[in-house]
Amino acid sequence: MFFKQTASVKLNDPVLQNALKRAKGKFVDGRALGVAQIDNWEDIRTYAAEMRDRVIANLDAYLIEFEKNATRRGAVVHWAETAEEANAIIAGIALKNNVKAVTKSKSMVSEEVALNDALEAVGVTVLETDLGEYILQLAKEPPSHIVAPAVHKTKEDVAELFVAAHHKPRLTDIAAMTREAREELRGRFLAADMGISGANFIIAETGTTLTVTNEGNADLVTTIPRIHCVITGVEKVIPTLEDFATLIRLLPRSAIGQSIANYLTLTTGVKAPDETDGPEQMHIVLVDAGRTKLVGSDMKEMLRCIRCGACMNHCPVYQNVGGHAYGWVYPGPMGSVLTPTYVGIENAGDLPNAATFCGECQVVCPVKIPLPDLMRKWRERQFDRHLRPIGERLAIGAWSFVVARPALYAFATRIGVRIAAWIGGRSGQIHWLPGIDGWTKGRDMPAPQGSTFRDLYARRRKAA
Amino acid sequence: MKVGLFVTCLVDMVRPNIGFATLKLLEDAGCEVVVPAAQTCCGQPGYNSGARAISQQLARKVLAEFKDCDFVVAPSGSCSGQVKVHYVEDLFHDAPDLGEFKKLAAKWFELSDFLINVLKVDNLPGEYAGTVTYHDSCSGLRELGIKSQPRALLAKTGCELAEMNDAEKCCGFGGTFSIKLGEISTRMAENKCVNIAASGAGAIVGGDLGCLLNIEGRLRRNGDDRTKVYHFAEVAAGMVGAGGETGGKMVGK
């Protein structure tokens, strides 16, 4: 993981910086307005957090209930313990049914397991139909945001991609570009053999899978092809439809300030004999891939997450470096907690440290995940396992040793502030200091006044 | 009323003037202030670096030092959050002496909160004629609800408050973050400086020295020697000339 290095590149990318500034205004101001529409926002958050905790504590029971009800409606529920298993199950369904073309609506779990690669490896063509995901598929890039995957792309970037892919005159009007994409996609929606969707939630009492979109593409993906395949994480289960009614008050508002999303696609089972639309087969692949490791652990709150993106939208680090800097599927604070659970803390060491603990993520989280506390838990593991750089460990060790010994502290700081004040000289600013060059590269270090408070105070008491 | 002053290690080392300003504000308001001599650090740097055992040890040290005080006051929202929130909810939430830490938390106040909500001060020693803008430091704001209190103090000094955009946005300090991820930290400080400049204020005032050092460092690196950087205690105590803005000047000599 090269967060620090990638972040540096991103900080100096003017196009990205512009895109991030625009997005920040939209997400942050949008959410504030959306939340202000509801007078019992905090009550709903509390209810939702408790409901999610209840589900996670009884995950097995709710999943079995879901399986029972989904099966009764003709769906087949598959259990994938690993990413590889999930891919093998879906590739197997495709091969068995002679599937050539797949349409897909947005799914972060499919990004997580790299499903598209697995399907293309067995000769299946995959088309992303969420506009943002479609743009990124053309650009051959991963999403940089879990809700707005192409938020780092400008209109001009997209115009170039469309010219190359669609072989039509270059457009710059967003509405016209969207229409062009829609025309490109429509025929392929109709021709697909299998549709793959994610699920924002799955509902235990009805066996329903549920997808929230603004483009309606999930409607087409889930109803037109003869096979519908859902891929989602095991933690997405919620008890009842009514619980969904609660969560839908939180999700789009938290994401972008919408009171409700344009489309809520609820899919329950296969086409019934008396129905004209819907798939002949429905497969639901429930992916663990490390999630159940968190159940009952000191990071269990992370499983509450409903993937709204509010934590990243409000994170001052994310706002300045964008999602790609985080190096894996999930960016921002939720990614800084999740990524180490998937790839190992030794491979994602910077991420839990990429936070000032300003607390904005926790304040905006619709299910009250204590994200800074969870990042700190990763730091504790890093400290205990000696995974941070030696210099940092020595510095913390030395500081702790000194502050635990008041006489030593008094002596060391007396000398230290005198020297530092001398270095600061007449300007009172230290322009460079080894050991803290991470600070002094971009900022001066205001020099100390020259004596410690304790010494000055003792002197004053003596004089009095 | 015996009030313990928790100086904070940063104020002790870098800007004692803030400590003396705090002392003056409390004494002028009639408090009997004690400054336990063995105090050092609340343990937050180690805590946020994952050194849990060490931070627990330092927390116990703080507890012992302020046991006899009716109140404890610190000129920092960040250290106060460590004591009032993190000692209780995390470090000692399942310890046998949790009750002691709860007592400490209950009598512990961030300075502006104490002056406004406990002492309900009316008159302050300080007068300030200029226009200032206020930076809300994260821990004080989000952990303790420090927002109106420092502004109320500033209003009493006669200064004009020109709010900046994103006053509640993190300045990028974040303790060791400012060194570990210096480039991102610098960008966040730069964003803050842009908002300060746009506010038209002649001084940026805050309640946490870490943030103030970060902001001042970026202002000076940018060549801005004009914008003053003060802790609200210095403004409220009328001690802005007495060694504030570091400047290498000695206080009390």
Helix (H/G/I), strand (E/B), else coil: B187: helix
Contact B180 A392 (CB under 8 A): yes
Contact B59, B85 (CB under 8 A): no
* Residue A316 in tokens: 């001052």
Mutant choice from B14, B62, B137, B168 vs A, greatest count of A C-beta within 10 A: B14
- Residue A364: count of CB within 10 angstroms of its CB: 22
Segment A204-258, tens digit of pLDDT: 999 999 999 999 999 999 999 999 999 999 999 999 999 999 999 999 999 999 9
Segment B73-102, tens digit of pLDDT: 999 999 999 999 999 999 999 999 999 999
- Band (pLDDT 50/70/90 cuts) for residue A91 is very high
- Is A168's pLDDT higher than 80? yes
Closest-CA residue of A relative to B52 is: A380
* Residue A165 in tokens: 């892919």
Segment B147-159, tens digit of pLDDT: 999 999 999 999 9
- Is B248's pLDDT higher than 60? no
Contact B54 A404 (CB under 8 A): yes
Q: What angle do CA B17, B22, B23 make, to 5 degrees?
A: 95
- Is A457's pLDDT higher than 80? yes
- Is B247's pLDDT higher than 60? no
DSSP lists the bridge partners of residue B96 as none
Scanning A205-264 for CB atoms below 8 A from B yields none
Q: How far is B101 from chain A (nearest CA, A)?
A: 19
Scanning B182-221 for CB atoms below 8 A from A yields 182-191, 213-214, 216-218, 220-221
Closest-CA residue of A relative to B137 is: A358
Instruction: State residue A209 phi and psi, 5-degree precision.
Output: -110, 150
Contact A153, A19 (CB under 8 A): yes
Contact B252 A460 (CB under 8 A): yes
Q: What is the mean pLDDT of chain A?
A: 96
- pLDDT given for residue A25 in this prediction: 86
- Residue A463: count of CB within 10 angstroms of its CB: 7
Segment B193-227, tens digit of pLDDT: 999 999 999 999 999 999 999 999 999 999 999 99
Segment B110-145, tens digit of pLDDT: 999 999 999 999 999 999 999 999 999 999 999 999
- pLDDT given for residue B57 in this prediction: 97
| Interface pTM, i.e. ipTM | 0.95
Q: What angle do CA B101, B233, B58 make, to 5 degrees?
A: 30
Interatomic CA distance for residues B174 and A376, integer angstroms = 13
Q: What is the pTM of this model?
A: 0.95
- Band (pLDDT 50/70/90 cuts) for residue A44 is very high
Reported residue count of chain B is: 253
Interatomic CA distance for residues A63 and A41, integer angstroms = 28
Interatomic CA distance for residues B206 and B203, integer angstroms = 10
Q: Where in chain A is the domain with CATH 3.40.50.10420?
A: 38-292
Q: What is the 3-state secondary structure (H, E, C) of chain A?
A: CCHHHHHHHHHCCHHHHHHHHHHHHHHHHHHHHHHHCCCCHHHHHHHHHHHHHHHHHCHHHHHHHHHHHHHHCCEEEEEECCHHHHHHHHHHHHHHCCCCEEEECCCHHHHHHCHHHHHHHCCCEEEECCHHHHHHHHHCCCCCCCCCCCCCCCHHHHHHHHHHHHCCCCCCCHHHHHHHHHHHHHHHHHHCCEEEECCCEEECCCCEEEEEECCCHHHHHHHCCCEEEEEEEHHHEECCHHHHHHHHHHHHHHHHCCCCCCEEEEECCCCCCCCCCCCCEEEEEEECCCHHHCCCCCCHHHHHCCCCCHHHHHCHHHHHHCCHHHCCCCCHHHHHHHHHHHHCHHHCCCHHHCCCCCCHHHHHCCCCCCHHHHHHHHHHHHHHCCCCCHHHHHHHHHHHHHHCCHHHHHHHHHHHHHHHHHHHHHHCEECCCCCCHHHHCCCCEECCCCCCHHHHHHHHHHHC
Query: What is A38-292's CATH topology?
Result: Rossmann fold (3.40.50)
The string over B204-225, giving b where at least 16 C-beta atoms fall within 10 Å of a residue's C-beta and e elsewhere, is bbbbbbbbbbbbbbbbbbbeee
- Is A373's pLDDT higher than 70? yes
Minimal CA–CA distance to A76: which of A270, A252, A210? A270
* Residue B24 in tokens: 């003056």
B248 touches A: beta carbon within 8 Å: yes
- pLDDT given for residue B228 in this prediction: 96
B253 touches A: beta carbon within 8 Å: yes
